[in-house]
Amino acid sequence: MIYYIKSIAKNSFESLIQNKDIAFCLLFFSFLFFLPVKVDIYNGVGILYIFILLTKKKIYLYNLYDEFIFIIIGLWIISFISSLYNNLATNTTFDILTAIFPYLFAKFLKYENINKYLLSFIIILLLVCIICFFKRFGHTNFNLVSALFFKNISRSSLFLACGILISLFLSLKQEKILLKYIFLTISLFFIPFIFSLQELTSLAAVVLCVCILLFKMTSKRYTILIILFASIVLVLFTNNKFKTLSNKPLSHVTVNHRYNMWIAAINMFKEKPLLGQGYKSFKKKYTYYLDKKNMHYDPSIINGGYQDAHNITLHLLAETGILGALLITLMFIYIFYIGIWKFSTNCMLFISSLCILLIYLNMQLHVHLDVNSVRALLFFFIGLFKNSLSHIQNDH
């Protein structure tokens, strides 16, 4: 038995040496999950990988530039000018440029191994969940433990939702029955964790994305049955929260605060519609733009210290105006049109687009591009999207 385990370990190590891109992926996701939110060492993995490719002349500097790089740089320029115009510190805008590293990292990974990169995501996520599962038997509350290595509940639910979607995709792609059921089991293993967090946004987003996945990759009759089953399970497991929200939803503090933040963001945009109030200005300014005459105004929101508007479009409108919001919205529309509609028959392009859609839907009520780890994961998937799209274009 020991000899067998040693043999597997040796073969796995040799395989990682031969496939450095997979090793880099495992390292990237390990840093992304296990390090604090503000530690961006995972960007170093992408920088090192690109540096190796450049020194070995596998890629050249002119290969680095494409439409997504120009979008990232464009958003940075708009944010820089907006902050400068509003007399805010411009050094914080350079955070936007860090999206370049996970994007280029995923863009130049070997296309034929994309399945294995997705598997790397699942392996690290599974490791995190196993650790959390065993820690639940300690004195820590299970909900908090589920967020232990993800650092906060909304980020936890987002990563778990991505894990469910990817593992289900890998299950549907497998021809071997054993592997098919292994990935399906992994997908089911993630579900109690995401339900324990009671984040309705991530739950609704993953159900929608799973429905799209099943609609594209399975028979229509099978899809309808799965959707009905998923809807029943979703309602049963979140029944208490639905009851709380259905009875005067704006009286619920979470919904009320979001509603008031959206009003503040709209008011910020109205005052400076072209360039907005400046990058990362929302936290400092939103209290001045709250509508205190609004019948649903709650004074407790002033002490909330919210970083963003909890809606990506309204947040961008408030901070970067119509220019920044339009740039990012058009980027997402382009991705969804190409990946989910035009070239949906390419599985790798399709799943990367679905993961981007899942993150985008989550950003409508929770996280924003300011969250470093979410930005890194989003642009990693955008990099995989571009990687797959380039493969299709080269074939034609």
Q: What is the pLDDT of residues 35-47, one digit of tens each?
A: 766 667 888 999 9
Mean pLDDT value across residues 114-134: 86
Residue 195 has pLDDT above 60, yes or no: yes
Q: In this predicted structure, what is the pLDDT of residue 58?
A: 87
The pLDDT tens digits for 308-330 are 888 999 999 999 999 999 999 99
| The model scores a pTM over 0.85 | yes
Residue 12 has pLDDT above 60, yes or no: no
Q: In this predicted structure, what is the pLDDT of residue 40?
A: 79
Is 344 exposed, middle or buried, given 0-12, 13-18 or 19+ CB atoms closer than 10 A?
A: middle
**What proportion of the chain, given as a percentage, has pLDDT over 90?**
38
Closest to 365 (Cα-Cα) out of 275, 245, 274: 245
- Please state, in angstroms and rounded to a whole number, the distance separating the CA atoms of residues 282 and 262: 11
**What proportion of the chain, given as a percentage, has pLDDT over 70?**
80
Amino acid at 112: E
Q: Which residue would you say has higher pLDDT here, 377 or 257?
A: 377
